[in-house]
Amino acid sequence: MSDLDIRVQGRAGRITLTRPKALNALSYDMCLALDAALKAWRDDDRVALIILDAEGEKAFCAGGDIAQLYDTGTAGDYGYARRFWRDEYRMNARLAEYPKPVVSLMQGFVMGGGVGIGCHGSHRVVGDSTRIAMPETGIGLVPDVGGSLLLAGAPGRLGEYLGLTTARMGPGDAIRAGFADHYLPEQDWPGLVERLCATGELAALTEATSPAPEAVYAAQTQRIDRIFGAGDITAIRAAAESDDCDFARDAAKALNRNSPLSMALTLDMLDRLRPAATIRDALRQEYRATWRVIEHGDFLEGIRAQIIDKDRNPKWRYADAVVPASVVTDLLAPLGEDELTFD
């Protein structure tokens, strides 16, 4: 298909996103095609490893293509979004559990759906332009595509900070947080790809990578742990607002900007995932949340305010940040016959 270039080159199965003008946003058809390629190459002896990359300098993949989710959702059709997420999450699980090495080369923006395809493989490469984020609470969703598992595994309360504020990570923080493994200057990426394709061996990657740049958020560890370990959304906001420094002030602005319901869901999701969860545990929980928030949450309003009308003035539910615990519990309850499966 025109939005993906899928081919076998030497010993590598190659998948390149080819929508640079759209920041390589991931459509439903792209999810299905990517998943089909992974299935086809699983037992193909020609393919020793997979390489995932993207055209353009601005973005590896800046997220999902959500226009149709909005159009169908506002028309009262929630089935399209649920099918999209179901099949996308199954593809995310396949990447995370793939039996062959998966090398992802992530330049520029890597957000939302881009994290789902770029940050679950076995060998994740970042460069100086890389900016990784989970921006979902800003549009009334929750960190999904397996991103909740990555956030739950980040040091201390860094996952809460990233998930609630939607803050972006450069290459050093991405590696420290567990979203990436290797740093390599982007001018060296073509040579790396050439060697991987020629040999089908990962030695080319380990020999090429350089020491990671500084992890900027590491210097804020104590502050992040104190603020984002304060309790519920109201307590976290109060802790951020009481700390007189630029970092805390920026965090407080984000906490007052993003969906309180989505932030409350995110807090609970990360807490539930911390006891030795798997990618399937995370995706199943995410699906419970996204299945319901398309109809009963802030997602459609968030898309309207941020992307459709662009008034940046969403009318959030629970705008006072007092989200009843029973609401969160109900939104994360099992879905019965609609539960996400991985068959």
- The CATH classification of domain 4-338, taken from the options 3.40.50.720, 3.60.15.10, 2.30.31.10, 3.90.226.10: 3.90.226.10
Q: What is the pLDDT of residue 209?
A: 87
Distance from C-alpha of 260 to C-alpha of 238, rounded to nearest angstrom: 14
Average pLDDT of the segment spanning 59-79: 93
Q: Could you say which of 65, 144, 160, 286 is catalytic?
A: 144
Does 136 qualify as catalytic in the annotation? Answer: yes
pLDDT single digits (tens) 264-307: 999 999 999 998 899 999 999 999 999 999 999 999 999 999 99
pLDDT at 320 over 80: yes
Report the sign of the C-alpha dihedral through residues 225, 230, 234, 239, in that order. negative
Q: Which residues of 229-256 are buried (b: 16+ CB within 10 A; e: fewer)?
A: ebebbbebbbbbbeeeeebbeebbebbe
Q: Could you say which of 13, 108, 113, 170 is catalytic?
A: 113
Each domain of the chain, given as residue ranges in start order, spans 4-338
Q: What is the pLDDT of residue 2?
A: 74
Does 144 qualify as catalytic in the annotation? Answer: yes
Q: Give me the residue label for tokens 């393919």.
A: 47
- Looking only at the bridges linking them, the beta strands covering 4-9 and 49-54 are unpaired
Give 292 or 343, the one with higher predicted confidence.
292
pLDDT at 1 over 60: no
Average pLDDT of the segment spanning 167-176: 98
Q: Could you say which of 35, 53, 136, 181 is catalytic?
A: 136
> What are 207-212's contacts with CB under 8 Å, separation 24+?
208/184, 209/125, 209/182, 209/183, 209/184, 210/183, 210/184, 210/185, 211/183, 212/171, 212/172, 212/175, 212/176, 212/183
Does 56 qualify as catalytic in the annotation? Answer: no
Lowest mean pLDDT among 46-55, 59-68, 246-255, 332-341: 59-68
pLDDT single digits (tens) 193-202: 999 999 999 9
Q: What is the pLDDT of residue 20?
A: 96
Residue type at position 144: D
Average pLDDT of the segment spanning 20-47: 97
Residues in the chain: 343
Q: How many CB atoms lie within 10 A of CB 306?
A: 18
Task: Identify the H or E element spanning 133.
Answer: strand 131-133
Helix/strand/coil (H/E/C) assignment for every residue in 277-295: CCHHHHHHHHHHHHHHHHH
Which pLDDT band, with edges at 50, 70 and 90, does 343 fall under? confident
Distance from C-alpha of 238 to C-alpha of 243, rounded to nearest angstrom: 9
Does 64 qualify as catalytic in the annotation? Answer: yes
